[in-house]
Amino acid sequence: MINLIEQTTDFLKGKGFDNPEIGIILGTGLERLPEHVEIQKEISYNLIPNFPTATVAFHKGKLLYGTLAGKRVIIMQGRFHVYEGYTLQDVTYGVRIMHALGIKKLLVSNAAGAINLNFKKGELMLIDDHINLQGGSPLAFNGVDQLGDRFVDMAAPYDTEMNNTLESLAKASGVQLHKGVYASVVGPQLETRAEYRYLKIIGADAVGMSTVPEVIVANHLRLPVVAVSVLTDECDPDNLQPVDIPEIIAMAEKAEPDMIALFKGLIESL
């Protein structure tokens, strides 16, 4: 993998994606963040050597580079999911590349269902800890020890300092920011009532289909990471409604301005 990373990184440096300070993975809730960025470079994933999409028809993903709140940022617009058929190494390749290009912090967003029923749809949750239910690890491959420790400590996978900043920013601007445990499943099917009960019992506050692989790799690279979920639906096993995709999208859009303001504030403070 080292050689692949070197090839990709050399290519991107040659295209001007050099020395970014902060990496951002745009999930749900941050899709309009690029409107706030002074974009200097952009490149479609399928033009980047060794990017997982090179062999798959995948047109909308791109890497952006520019300045936001005075900082050099690199943005993954479009992420990879295990439910699309990618491996956990594919899903996290972009994190390794942004790290190799020089980022010092990683910021991530996603959409999640609320398991903790004190949390309501349309609200935000700062991920404080996680449960990996994807059935594998992005670090389970031959040669992982050449890129970092094999037995990565996960006692505090999310950066306390950036978490504190996000919490004070939320408080100062009157944004409701819950804090909790995110469970990551493969999907793409949603959970059954029995699975929602199980997720609650094991200590999850929210459930989604992303983020945990990227966070594990960030920890492997000793890259401080924060992640925020937009809660798009309430997963009450005793009153479960059929999934309503237009409503999920509406909830994500409702929360987006708060999410963008928090991320911009955090970036300004770094």
Lookup: tokens for 265: 């504030």
By CB under 6 A, tell whether 122 contacts ligand HPA: no
Identify which of residues 191 and 205 has a Cβ nearer to ligand HPA in the complex: 191
Per-position DSSP letters for 47-63, written without gaps between them: GSTT-GGGGS---S-EE
Q: Which residue is nearest to ligand HPA (CB)?
A: 113
* By the rule CB under 6 A, 267 interacts with ligand HPA: no
Measured from the Cβ of residue 18, the count of other Cβ atoms closer than 10 Å reads: 15
Size of the site for ligand HPA (CB under 6 A): 13
42-50, 136-144, 149-157, 185-193 -> range binding ligand HPA (CB under 6 A): 185-193
* AA identity, residue 37: V
Query: What's 226's DSSP letter?
Result: E
Q: Is 208 in the site for ligand HPA (CB under 6 A)?
A: yes
- Beta-carbon count within 10 A of 105 CB: 21
Asked whether 105 and 270 are in contact (CB, 8 A), the reply is yes
Phi, then psi, of 178 in degrees rounded to 5: -75, 170
Q: Is 235 in the site for ligand HPA (CB under 6 A)?
A: yes
Q: How far is the CB of 30 from ligand HPA (least distance, A)?
A: 15
Q: Where are the alpha helices (H) located in the chain, listed in sequence order?
A: 2-14, 88-91, 93-101, 160-173, 193-201, 212-220, 245-269
Q: For residue 207, state whether it binds ligand HPA (rule: CB under 6 A).
A: yes
> Nearest 5°: phi and psi at 66?
180, -160
Q: Residue 56 corresponds to which tokens in the numbers above?
A: 């798959």
Amino acid present at 220: H
Residue with Cβ nearer ligand HPA (208 or 224): 208
| Residue among 76, 111, 223, 267 that touches ligand HPA (CB under 6 A) | 111
Position 232 contacts ligand HPA (CB under 6 A):
yes
Q: Please enumerate in sequence order all residues whose Cβ is within 8 A of that of 92, keeping only pairs 6 or more positions apart, or say none.
A: 138, 213, 214, 216, 217
Closer Cβ to ligand HPA, 66 or 180, answer by number? 180
Among 12, 30, 64, 112, binds ligand HPA (CB under 6 A): 112
C-beta of 36 vs 197, nearer to ligand HPA: 197
CB of residue 29 to ligand HPA, shortest distance in Å: 11
Tell me if 74 contacts ligand HPA by CB under 6 A. Answer: no
| Binds ligand HPA (CB under 6 A): choice among 159, 191, 205, 258 | 191
Q: Tell the residue number behind the tokens 């900043």, with chain if given.
A: 165
Least distance in angstroms from the C-beta of 7 to ligand HPA: 34
Token digits of residue 195: 């699975």
Q: What does the binding site for ligand HPA look like in residue numbers (CB under 6 A)?
A: 111-113, 185, 187, 190-191, 207-209, 232-233, 235
